[in-house]
Each structure stands twice: as C-alpha cells, then as structure tokens.
Amino acid sequence: MKIAALYIDAQVADRPDTRRICRRLGVPAKTVANADDVYADVAAAEDPIGSGKQVLFLTRNKGAFLKDCPGTRHYTCCGYRILHIGSYCTMDCSYCILQAYFHPPVLQYYVNHEDMASELERCLSEPGIQRIGTGEFTDSLIWEPWTGLSRTLVLRFAHQDRAVLELKTKTVNINGLLDIGHRRKTILAWSLNTERVIRSEERGTASLNARLRAAAQGAQAGYPIAFHFDPVVITDGCEEDYRQVVERLFAAVPSEQIVWISLGAFRFMPDLKPVIQRRFPDSRIVYGEFIAGLDGKARYFKPLRMQVLQSLAQAILRRAPQTCVYLCMEDDEVWRHALGFTPAERGGLARMLDEAAEWHCGVGSGPRRR
C-alpha cells in the first residue's frame, strides 16, 4: 500500500486507532472538518479513480457496519452479511465495480471500532448461523500492514460458535494471522483467475503462484480455505486456462480444507464500460458476447456462460466431489446446466453454505474437521 495523501476526519483525530495508524504510515496528515474537502482534492486529479487509491481518509462509519449482501431478486443470492470496515482498494482491477460505485473513489477506513463491536455482538447473539465477510466494498487484507484489524476480528470470532468470518483477498497479507488461535471460525479466501487475466486485468495484485502459496500457508496453519473464481472471463482457450488453475489450486491446498468455491461470470453495470475503456485502453474484457441481464448488468450470452461455468465446475468436482461449489448471481437454468441441480433442491443456497460452514468450521451443531 502506497499512501500519497492522508486525511483525518476532525471527529476522529484524537482516537488511539487514528494516532496509531498515522505513526505506522509516517505520512503527513491533514485534518478536515468535511469529507467534501477530501473528495474535491481527489476529483481534481487527472485520473481520480487511480489517484484515489493513494489517498486515505480516516473517518467514522455513520451508518450500519453490518449489511446484507446487495443481491437482486432475479438471481440466486447467498445470504452473506457484510462487515463494512472501509471502502475502496489499493489494487487496480479493470473490472472492479468500485470504480463506478464511489464518486469520486477514495480509500476510507473507519476507526469507530466500538460501534462496530457493538453491532457485531448483537449479530453474534442472534439464532442461526451467520456468514460474515469484510471483502465486499474493499479487499479484506489490504489494511493489515498498518491496522491489524483482521487479527482482532479473527480472535473475536474464535470465541463464539454461531458465525464464520470470511476474509477475501488478492493479497498475501496473512503473516499476522498465522500464529493465533482461530478455532477454525475464520475462512481465508482468495479470488483466483487465470495467469492471462491476472496479467492483463489485475494491476497491483499478488500473482497466482503467490496467492496459492499463501493459501497453502493458511491451510497449514489450520484455517479453512475458500476460493472465488469471480469474474470468470470468457475468451478463446479460457476453459483450458481455468482447468490449469484448478489443478494448481488442488496441488496447493488439500480438498478437505476447502469450505466452498464460488464461480461467477464477468458482469458489469453499463456505467462501468466507459471507465474500463478509458483507464484500460488495452483491455478487451468488455468486448465479449454480452446481453442485458434482468438486473440491468451486461452479462455473457447465457449459453456461452453456461458452457464455461459447467466446464469449470466439472474440473473442480472431478478433483473434489464433496466440495461445496456454487454460482454467484445466476438463475436456476444456469445452475441446472452447470451443476446439475438448483439451489432449491438442496434447501436453498444459504442452507448449502451454512452446512459447509457447520462441517468445516464447527458452527451451529455440525462437526468440525481438524
């Protein structure tokens, strides 16, 4: 993480977390009374989206820390809950929705952790299994070198049996998590793609080899592991490319350590297309066979994505037939073609994932693999 400018919300300037982060970063800080001052400075840059990745605003979350995953009624959603620790990302993936989601985008990290802790305590006291993650509006682990928040969260989740925490990343920032008693209540998860996609579309991310090495380290430390192939980018030869990634995945991590693997075909809001064309002029990612989906997003022509998702799912299930493989934001027709069943036939997607968490992480009343 390279921070070129550091801003501090005047309301949090005297907080211990704020002072500790400032010391660790060693970057001159400017205290502001209004977030608009930060946004105005970023918006004035030639490339606000790129510049915002080096501008950090320490502030407080004035809304809810825990939110439901923003799914859509047209496609099957997983019932995930988001722990909103901060927003935006230092890495620069061409397809990233955050480029069009925040106006202008800027790194924000919330330091009112006592409010977060209170919400989390209420959530952890609710009946049923909770699946919670920090990687929806940001990468879960970009913050680790100077905050240590994930370490704190892992320790908190280790002291309960009703919820799992999923830390999703394209980094290798797990060193601070390997020596602590996690009790398998935290899942370390990596977003994976082909070498070709990583090179062309995922600037500033860890290489595929590095991600898989980190996943192997996490597995050796006893953590449950997950992987997310999202977005699956469809190009000539991609099916073989993804099969090779699957082979390398299982060479790195034993199948019995893997809680779930998700598959999601590349999709994007119309507003994102000109952003990608402007910021990534060499990228061909938006020039595939796309149609308008029911949610208004551009999606690959359905028969095309069914074919590729089926090929990828079969490659995974041949190696690990008991692994929970699921599709992200697809309808029953695609599920049936790619996986041979619909979520309703297994009690719903949320139930499928709850059962995987019960078995691998020991939440609820399920067994725990050791």
Coil vs helix vs strand at 56: strand
Q: What tokens were used for 180?
A: 């602590």
For 364: left if phi > 0, alpha if psi spans -120 to 50, otherwise beta; the answer is: left
C-alpha distances in Å from residue 167, one per residue of 54, 173, 193: 22, 11, 17
- The count of residues in the chain is 370
CA–chain centroid gap for 92, Å, is 14
Is residue 16 assigned to a domain? no
Q: What pLDDT score does 369 carry?
A: 47
Contact by Cβ (8 Å): 110, 11? no
A 10 A CB-CB count for 273 gives: 16
Q: Concatenated DSSP letters for 145-159?
A: HHH-HHHHHHHHHTT
Question: What residues make up the domain containing 182?
Answer: 67-105+129-361
Is residue 12 assigned to a domain? no
Q: What pLDDT score does 73 carry?
A: 56
Q: What pLDDT score does 230 carry?
A: 96
User: How far apart are alpha carbons 145 and 24 in whole angstroms?
Assistant: 9
Q: What pLDDT score does 102 carry?
A: 75
Domain harbouring 136, CATH code: 3.80.30.30
Is residue 3 assigned to a domain? no
A 10 A CB-CB count for 36 gives: 10
Is residue 97 assigned to a domain? yes
User: How far apart are alpha carbons 65 and 149 in whole angstroms?
Assistant: 14
Q: Domains in the chain: how many in total?
A: 1
Is residue 333 assigned to a domain? yes
Would you give per-residue pLDDT tens digits along the chain (370 residues)?
789 999 999 999 999 999 999 999 999 999 999 888 899 889 888 999 999 999 999 999 999 999 887 666 556 667 789 999 999 999 999 999 999 887 778 999 999 999 999 999 999 998 899 999 998 899 999 999 899 999 999 999 999 999 999 999 999 999 999 999 999 999 999 999 999 999 999 999 999 999 999 999 999 999 999 999 999 999 999 999 999 999 999 999 999 999 999 999 999 999 999 999 999 999 999 999 999 988 889 999 999 999 999 999 999 999 999 999 999 999 999 999 999 999 999 999 999 999 999 999 999 865 554 3
Q: Determine which helix (DSSP H) or strand (DSSP E) holds 5, and give its type and residue range.
A: strand 5-9
Coil vs helix vs strand at 107: strand
A 10 A CB-CB count for 292 gives: 10
Burial of 262 (0-12, 13-18, 19+ CB in 10 A): buried
pTM, to two decimals? 0.95
Is residue 160 assigned to a domain? yes
Q: What pLDDT score does 274 carry?
A: 95
